[in-house]
A = this chain, B = another copy of it.
Amino acid sequence: MGEMGNIAAIRAAMEKEQYMLKCQYAINIVEAKCKIIDEQLGMKYGREIMRSISKRIKTPESIYAKLVRKNLDVNFKTACEKLNDLIGVRVVCLFLDDVYEIARMLKQQKDVRVIKEKDYIAVPKKNGYMSLHLIIEIPICFDEKCEKKKVEIQLRTAAMDCWSVLDYQLCYKKTMADASGVMEKLKKHSETIASMDREMLAIRNEIERI
């Protein structure tokens, strides 16, 4: 079975057993939690906290590519077991410190089990990528039973979010030899981004002190 057949098989599996609706159920819950946190922090600090909350269910094409890249069996069952980002929620904040406070507030919730946490802000990926990743598990209940659903939550600042667009654009050309010069610049640019975030934070702190 070639690439096309594999993708079609994954798509077919996703159309069964209300998979999409169950993902949407989990997204609904995570989004509701984020909005409550947004309002709580917004009232605590008297300013805007989250710039946007976006979400996606990983496409068959993208699942296929990731299974191949990770050298895993190419089928939907493996994807459900091994991939942590079939359901993704991205929270873009304005300020660096909010990223950590939101993460803390998500992690302490009673129905949330934290599976993994990766702080790519403290230690960026080697291409310069920065974000805080939480893999959590939450229960969704339907029929007579509940099911655990894993959700990857990416928390980042708006500046980091800008950077990631360039990275995304580059990744389709990465194999080319002469990308190396650009990759270096992109890495450097991520440092500009980091210092911009620190500057934002410093100015905000000063405004708050007035």
Contacts and interface: CB of A to CB of B under 8 A. Distances in A.
Interface of A: 18, 21-22, 24-25, 28-29, 31-33, 35-37, 39-40, 47-48, 51-52, 94, 105, 108-112, 139-146, 158-159, 161-162, 165-166, 168-170, 173, 176, 178-179, 181-182, 185-186, 189, 192-193, 196, 199-200, 202-204, 206-207, 210
A47 B170 CA distance: 10
Most chain B beta carbons < 10 A, residue from A109, A142, A162, A185 = A142
B162 A185 contact: no
A24 B18 CA distance: 23
Copies in the complex: 4
A166 B204 CA distance: 7
A165 B206 contact: no
Contacts of A35: 21, 24
Contacts of A48: 165, 168-169
